[in-house]
Amino acid sequence: MSENITNRVSRLISGSINALVDAAESISPEIIMQESIREIESAISEVRHELGKVIVSQHNVEERIDSEEKKFKELNEQIQVALKENREDLAEIAISKQMDIEAQLPVLKKSLENYSKDIKELEGYISALQAKNREMSDELKSFKEHSKSIQSPTSQNSDIKNNVLKSEAAFNRVMGINTHLAKHTDEAKLAELEDLTRKNRIQERLNAIKANQE
């Protein structure tokens, strides 16, 4: 999820009409409030768009997990058939594929967990922005009603500043995993060792499966 969205929502939610009016004394408070409402509505639209993308990504990962788990079960059946036909070479290939699936599933499931968190967070942003929009709309309505009963622009600004409800909220997001990859001087030997270890694991699993069949 984009940090720009988080920063924008935080700024809009934590902002107050007092601060907006102080920052633009030469502009009518009504114009400032109208522009603020438009920006909030734009932010709601942006967050909804981001939410839609995250939901689609979540669905894709769910389908991928389901597909990989089904493939893993199919490989179990293929291993049994290969051993019955005395084709240990084919069984080893199937086991290797299973190990690849086992390596990927935790990452996919972690992604699914992160997407769920993002969805909850984005839904919270929408609710907060909608609440802020209602607050600003109420203030604009009050200002218009008040402006009809008085003549002094100075008095208008003073009343607006004294009657505004200040709403502050902080939205922070800490996600993701920072990975540090160490560099070694003899990568070729390490790769060879890793390959040898993998082959040993495949052989161990193959032996275990054969032992269960006896």
Domain with 55, as residue range(s), is: 3-180
* Number of domains present in the structure of the chain: 1
Establish if 187 belongs to a structural domain.
Answer: no
| Per-residue pLDDT, 2 | 65
CATH number at residue 148: 1.10.287
| Per-residue pLDDT, 31 | 80
Residue pLDDT tens, the chain, 214 long: 666 888 888 888 877 665 555 554 556 777 888 888 899 999 999 999 999 999 999 999 999 999 999 999 999 999 999 999 999 999 999 999 999 999 999 999 999 999 999 999 999 999 999 998 988 888 888 878 877 776 555 544 544 444 443 333 333 333 333 333 334 445 667 667 777 888 888 888 888 888 887 6
Establish if 70 belongs to a structural domain.
Answer: yes
Establish if 157 belongs to a structural domain.
Answer: yes
| Per-residue pLDDT, 161 | 47
Euclidean distance between CA atoms 134 and 40, whole angstroms: 10
